[in-house]
Amino acid sequence: MDRFIIRGGRRLSGEIEIGGAKNSGLKLMVAGLLTSERLRLSNVPKIADIQTMRDLLLRLGISVDEVDERTFSIGGDIASIEAPYDIVSKMRASILVLGPLLARAREAKVSLPGGCAIGTRPVDMHLKGLEALGAEIRLENGYINARAPNGLKGDRVILPFASVGATENLLMASTLAKGRTEIVNAAREPEITDLVNCLNAMGANITGAGSGTLVIEGVEALHGADYAVMPDRIECGTYACAAAITQGDLLLIGGQADSLGSVIRTLNETGVDVTEEQRGLRVRCSTKLRGIDIMTEPYPGFPTDMQAQFMAMLSVAEGASMITETIFENRFMHVPELNRMGARINPHGRSAIIRGVEKLSGAPVMATDLRASFSLILAGLVAEGETELSRIYHLDRGYEGVDRKLAACGADIARVHE
């Protein structure tokens, strides 16, 4: 099992290219289920989760041809309606094949999902929404068995919570439903807008992207399209934290300020300077970080996927900070590992009090989930001595070439193969 060895104390300076968005690329690949024609996706990130989704689509009979290392051509006839446990258990995003399979094949058998252990994340909203569109659903032996023998029918679906996954599943399913569908209290994340734009390029009729209500007029069929995956705002925010915690200066090529509003505002509050340039975002920090309070919220609020990275930053900031996690109930698993490195973090239910310390110390630590993995890298970049980070397969699920990108900007980091 691979691990990272990090020797801290080096200021980062240089350029880092931001790849395609993991949280968009996965869903756009699934959109390929909605047509037999070819969906050509470019700027696809080269990460483990993308390969898992490719394996799942292949299992369903959809061909996924690699045009080049960042471009896939997806399409074909559905040969199987079963998304099996051995693939779905690796990644929660696999649940998103449910809606497209129902819409196009009129039946689906999808294993209940797995993924990072950061909370229960039930699929109830997905299932109730699909039932509102006319699906018949049974849960049996760990599988979702769904049928719509007469096809799906448009309806008004009100989500009790602005769930990204439920919004995406219902959005894709309703593109081929008969009539008009309204998704009320829909998630507003930029990745939803990216999916809407891709589906519309494929012939869907969707309005309301970026708002809390999506309106979909069902069409008879979708067709192929060429589409580029948006840059990854979470990767961009993560490397911005790397610049901040090391008092560095990084140009994040391809970074987009409009998708990072709350993250940039929060960085500014800690004393970090973020400016837009022609090629991306420049992030500089020349002063001691300041402690602040943060609450995670659905977009356009502060993203839960940036919480762990900011916690590492604030562990070496002046004064006290508090982070409140409102999205997932079990997303402080990185706290004990950061405390092993000398941080002073006290969790209280859904909040954590962080008292900034002068320095962190290198230690053997273990990654617990995707974003927590990078929080420990950030801590290792400023810690005295050597940090050994194990279980980095979590990191490989969502970040490409971390050691290469950081080392090119001055970090002392190496991947050790075992």
Residue found by looking up tokens 């309806």 in the block: 155
Kindly tell me the burial class for residue 286, based on how many C-beta atoms sit within 10 Å of its own C-beta (0-12, 13-18, 19 or more): exposed
92 is in an annotated binding site: yes
Which residue type sits at 124? Answer: D
Give residues with Cβ within 8 angstroms of 24, minimum separation 6.
190, 191, 194, 195, 229, 230, 232
Among residues 116, 241, 285, 409, which one is catalytic? 116
Count helices and strands in the chain by DSSP H and E runs? 14, 24
Contact 120, 147 (CB under 8 A): no
253 is in an annotated binding site: no
Count other C-beta atoms under 10 Å from residue 400's C-beta. Answer: 20
Compute the distance between CA of residue 116 and CA of residue 42 in angstroms, rounded to an integer: 26
288 is in an annotated binding site: no
Interhelix angle for 233-245 vs 307-314, to 10°?
A: 0
Phi, psi values for residue 359, rounded to 5°: -155, 155
Which residue type sits at 198? Answer: C
22 is in an annotated binding site: yes
Contact 121, 92 (CB under 8 A): yes
Cα-to-chain-centroid distance, residue 199: 19
**116 in active site:** yes
H-helix or E-strand spanning residue 314: helix 307-314
305 is in an annotated binding site: yes
- Binding site, by residue number, is 22-23, 92, 305, 327
- Binding site for UDP-N-acetyl-alpha-D-glucosamine, by residue number, is 92, 305, 327
- Binding site for phosphoenolpyruvate, by residue number, is 22-23
Which residues form the catalytic set? 116
